[in-house]
Structure 1
Amino acid sequence: MKHLGKLALLAAAIGAAAAALMVFGARLGLWQPITGFGLYRSYFDLLAIGVTAVGLIALIVHLFRKEKVPAAFGGIAALIGVAMLVPMISSTLNPPVRAAPINDITTDTANPPVFLVLDETREGARTSLAYAGAKVADIQVTAYPDIAPLETNLDADSAFVRALEVAEAMGWDIVAKDAEHRRFEATARTSVFYFADDVVVVVSEQESGSRVDLRSVSRIGRSDQGINAARIRAFQQKF
C-alpha cells in the first residue's frame, strides 16, 4: 500500500501518454487520422475516468495513513485525470451545435472551382471531389450565408501570388499550382487528429481588381463540423 501513490502517478503518466497518442498519433505517422479519432471516441473518456479514480483512491488511502508524500503523488495523478476529463465535462455543460451535414464548402456554389490534379485516389479519401450540386448548395447557403467570393483591388496576378503566400503561411501543402491560369490545389490538415482536407483556389480578373474563389472538401465524414467554412473565413481574413 505504501507505493500506491507512486503507482497512481505512473498510471496517470501512462494514461496521459496514451491520450496524447490518440490525438497526435496521425501527425506522428502512426496511423490514419480516422484511427486516432476512433480510439479517442471509444477510449478517451474511460481512460480519463480511470486515471482520476486511481489518483483519488491513492490520495484518500495515503491521507488516511498520514503519508504526505505518497498522498501528494495520488493528488497529482488525480489532477491529471481531472484535466483529461475537461473535454467530456465541457461537452456535457455546453453541448456542441450540430453542424450542417455537408463536407464540401465553396465561395461559388453556382460554378464551384474544380479539382484538376487531386482526384479520387488521394490517400485515405472516402468522399468524392465531384460537387453534389443544388442540394449541397442550398444547405451551405442556409448554414453558412457569409461564405462568398473574395473581391480584391489587386490585379489578378498579384492576387494569385498573395493567395499562395497566405496558403503557405496557413501551413497548407501546395500540391499543384498553375500561374498561367491563376489556380492552385493544396491539402490542409486539421490541428486535432490531423485530418486531411483538400482545397482549390482560383483567381479571376475583374473589371476593377480581381476575385478569389475557394473550395474546401473533407476526405472523410458526411459532416465537416464547420471546419471547411472556418478555413475559408481564416484564409480570407489573412488575405
Structure 2
Amino acid sequence: MLMLFGARLGLWAPTTGFGFYRTYLNPIGAVIAVMGLLTLSMHLKRKEKGGVFAGGVAVIIGMACLAPMIAGAINPPVRAAPIHDISTDTTNPPAFEVLDENREGARNSLKYGGPELAKVQSAAYPDIVPLATELPADAAYQKALKVAHEMGWEVVGSNTERRRFEAVARTPVFYFADDIVIVVTPQGDGSRVDMRSVSRVGRSDRGVNAKRILSFQKQFRG
C-alpha cells in the first residue's frame, strides 16, 4: 500500500513509488504466497482452523500482489505510442503560459514536438480532435472550468477574457502529475474547445493523456 500511495502521502516522488512497485511487488507477492501455502498445508494437517484461515488469507494477499504480472502474461497489454504530449490541435497546439519548465518533478518539456509528434499522435489516436459545441464561447469556457473542477484538476491559472486556463491533474494511484491547458475560441454561432495534456515524466504516457481528453469531452457533452 505504501508503494502505491506513498507519493500521495508525501513520502517520496511518484517515480520513486513506481520504481518500488516495479522492483519489489512481484518478489514480495511470491514470498507471501509461498509462506501462506506452507502455513495452510501445515495447519490443514494439524486441523487448526485459525491457522488454516491465516494461511488462506496470506495466499490471497500474495496472489493479489502477483495479479498484475499474471494478467499481463495471459493478456499482454497493447503498447501505447511513445509520446506523452497530446493535443486536440496539432497544427497550432495550445501553449502553456503559467506552467513552465520549473514545475515540480518535471523531466519533460512543455515545448511542442512539432510535425513529427503530430504524425505519431494522428496514427495512434485519430479520435483526438477539437470539441465543437453550440454554446457561445463565454458559456463554453465556464462549462470547461466546471468540468475541470468536477474531474478533480487543480486549476493553477485562468484568464476569463482570453477564455483559457491551465491545470494539473494527478493519477489516482502513483500520483503522477500531468499538465493541462484549455483554450476556448468562438466558431460561428458556437465555439471550439481545444485541450492539451502533457505528462511531466516518462517517454510514453501509456495512453493516459488521450483518455483524459476523451473523458473531458464526454463529460462536457453530458
- 2:33 maps to 1:52: yes
Q: Structure 1 residue 66: deviation in Å?
A: 2.5
Q: How far apart, in 2, do the equivalents of 1:236 and 1:25 lie?
A: 31
Give the structure 1 partner of residue 165 of structure 2: 184
Give the structure 1 partner of residue 116 of structure 2: 135
- 2:19 maps to 1:38: yes
Q: How far apart, in 1, do the equivalents of 2:50 and 2:168 lie?
A: 50
Q: Structure 1 residue 230: deviation in Å?
A: 0.2
State how 1:220-231 maps to structure 2 within 5 Å.
220-231=201-212
Amino acid aligned to 2:122 = V
Q: How far apart, in 2, do the equivalents of 1:114 and 1:166 lie?
A: 20
- 2:142 maps to 1:161: yes
Which of 34, 45, 53 lines up with 1:64 in the alignment?
45
Amino acid aligned to 2:54 = F
Q: How far apart, in 2, do the equivalents of 1:178 and 1:86 lie?
A: 46
Amino acid aligned to 1:170 = M
Residue deviations 1:152-204 (CA, integer Å, cap 9, x gap): 00000000000000000000000000000000000000112110000000000
Q: How far apart, in 2, do the equivalents of 1:66 and 1:207 lie?
A: 78
Q: Which has the larger radius of gyration?
A: 1
Residue deviations 1:193-221 (CA, integer Å, cap 9, x gap): 11000000000011120000000000000
Which of 151, 165, 179 lines up with 1:170 in the alignment?
151
Q: How far apart, in 1, do the equivalents of 2:64 and 2:113 lie?
A: 42
Gaps of 5+ in 2: none
Give the structure 2 partner of residue 23 of structure 1: 4
Q: Structure 1 residue 63: deviation in Å?
A: 1.4
Give the structure 1 partner of residue 175 of structure 2: 194
Calculate the TM-score normalised by the size of structure 2.
Answer: 0.97
- 2:107 maps to 1:126: yes
Structure 2 SS opposite 1:118: coil
Give the structure 1 partner of residue 215 of structure 2: 234
Give the structure 1 partner of residue 186 of structure 2: 205
Amino acid aligned to 1:197 = D
Give the structure 2 partner of residue 105 of structure 1: 86
Gaps of 5+ in 1: 1-19
Q: CA RMSD in A?
A: 0.7
Q: Structure 1 residue 68: deviation in Å?
A: 2.4
Q: How far apart, in 2, do the equivalents of 1:63 and 1:184 lie?
A: 62
Give the structure 1 partner of residue 70 of structure 2: 89
